[in-house]
A and B are shown apart, each in its own frame.
Chain A
Amino acid sequence: MKIAVQGSYPKIPAGSGASVRTQIQRFDRGLGSPKDLERSYREVTARVLNLAEDVGLDLTTDGQIRCNDWFDPIVRDIDNVYSEGLLRLFDNNFYYRHPVIRGRLAFQGGTLRYWTEQATKISKVPVKVAMPGPFTFLALSEDQSYHDYDRLLRDLLAVLKMQRESLAGIGTVEVQWDEPSLARDASLDPVQVKEVFHELLAESSIAQSVALFWGSRSHRWLEPLADLPLTTVYCDAVVDPNVFSALASTKWPFAVGIGALDARNVRLEDPADLARQLEPILHRQSSDRVILHPSSGLELLPPDRAEAKVRRLAEVRAAVLGTVKS
Chain B
Amino acid sequence: MSQILKTTSVGSFPKPPELMEARIRFRKGDITREQLSAAEREATKAVIRLQEDLGLDILVHGEMERGDMVAYFAETWQGFEESLPVRSYGNRYYRKPIVVGRVGAKRGLTVDAWKEAQALTAKPMKGMLTGPYTICDWSFNAFYPDRRSLVLDLAEIVHQEALALEEAGAEYIQIDEPAISTRPEELELAIEAMAVVTTGLNAHTISHICYGDFDTIYPKLLDLPVDQLDLEVANQGFQLLDLIAAHPWPKQKELALGVVDVHSHGLESIASVKEGIYKALETVPADRLYIDPDCGLKTRTWEEAEAKLRLMMEAVREVRQELGSE
Contacts and interface: CB of A to CB of B under 8 A. Distances in A.
Given A10-B87, A305-B83, A93 B138 contact: yes
A94 interface: yes
Contacts of B235: 85-86
Contacts of A300: 86
Contacts of B95: 302
Nearest to B264: A85
Interface in A250-271: 265-267
Contact of A301 (B86, B91, B261): B86
A88 B84 contact: no
Nearest to B81: A266
B142 A93 contact: no
Given A86-B211, A88-B181, A304-B84, A94 B142 contact: no
A95 B91 contact: no
A128 interface: no
Contact of B179 (A21, A93, A302): A93
A150 to B, nearest CB: 23
A68 B86 contact: no
B135 to A, nearest CB: 11
Interface residues of B, number: 31
Among B96, B137, B181, B264, chain A packs the most CB atoms within 10 A around the CB of B96
Contact of A266 (B87, B88, B98, B263): B98
Interface in A75-115: 85-88, 91-97
A299 interface: yes
Given A86-B211, A265-B140, A266-B83, A21 B89 contact: no
A93 B68 CA distance: 13
Contacts of A305: 83-84
A21 B96 contact: no
B248 interface: no
A267 B140 CA distance: 8
Interface residues of A, number: 31
A69 interface: yes
Interface in B59-113: 83-91, 93, 95-96, 98
Query: Which of A14, A92, A266: most chain B Cβ within 10 A?
Result: A266
Given A88-B182, A88-B213, A299 B141 contact: no
Contact of A95 (B86, B138, B211): B211
Interface string B126-169: 00000000000110111000000000000000000000000000
Given A86-B263, A266-B140, A96 B87 contact: no
B140 A88 contact: no
Contacts of B213: 87-88
A71 to B, nearest CB: 12
A88 B98 CA distance: 21
A97 B211 CA distance: 11
B183 interface: yes
10 contacts: A86-B89, A86-B211, A88-B181, A88-B211, A93-B96, A94-B87, A94-B88, A267-B140, A301-B86, A302-B84
Interface of A: 10-12, 14, 21, 24-25, 28, 68-69, 85-88, 91-97, 265-267, 299-305
What 7 A-B pairs are tightest by C-beta distance, nearest first? A302-B84, A95-B89, A85-B235, A302-B83, A24-B91, A266-B140, A267-B142
Given A12-B85, A91-B182, A302-B86, 12 more contacts: A21-B85, A21-B91, A87-B212, A87-B213, A92-B182, A93-B138, A95-B89, A95-B211, A97-B89, A265-B141, A302-B83, A302-B96
